[in-house]
Amino acid sequence: MSKAFTKEDEGAPPAPLRKRGVPVPDPNFITPSGARAARAELDRLIRAAGDPDRIRELEAHLASAQEISPDDRTVVGLGAAVTIEDDSAKRVTYKLVGAIEADVKRGWISLQSPIANVLWGARVGDTVVLPRGDEVEIVAIDYED
């Protein structure tokens, strides 16, 4: 038989499913709103027979997720929206969230990120040095209700 009429992938193992690139951290902290959003997305994807890679990713994160609510809302912690100001009065707000919740375009940074590590535990009025070397002041800390 001519090679033109055979399948080249006969007998080959199936292609591995791609990973989306959000590893499950240990510990895997998540905000309550992030857990609700992840569960809702997972439900939608399962009902619609959606992306199997995303379904697996969400299942892996939710399986070990530890929902954390802030004890002290005057200190930067998980779920805090932190506004910082530099020497030129430029303000930027970051929200510290779990790994699966992170969205740089929205200013939501993973708790494991270098910036979150610097901001963690700070209070309004504190000065911190960002990873790139800029000194900034914490001017506001807000949590969702």
Full set of structural domains in the chain with CATH: 81-142 (3.10.50.30)
* Bridge partners for 92 per DSSP: 84
Percent of the chain beyond pLDDT 90? 71
Q: Which two tokens stand for residue 96?
A: 């510290």
Report the predicted TM-score, pTM, of the whole model to 2 decimal places. Answer: 0.79
Is residue 117 predicted with pLDDT exceeding 90? yes
With left for phi above 0 and alpha for psi between -120 and 50, is residue 85 left, alpha or beta? beta
Widest CA span in the chain: 79
Write out the H or E segment, with its range, that includes residue 66.
strand 65-67
Confidence (pLDDT) at 5: 54
pLDDT bracket for residue 45 (50, 70, 90): very high
Q: Which of 17-21, 23-27, 87-91 is the most confident on average?
A: 87-91
**Span 1-7, mean pLDDT?**
54
Question: How many angstroms separate the CA atoms of 109 and 8, rounded?
Answer: 45
Instruction: Decide which of 12 and 33 is more confident.
Output: 33
What is the bridge-based pairing of β-strands 81-85 and 91-97?
antiparallel
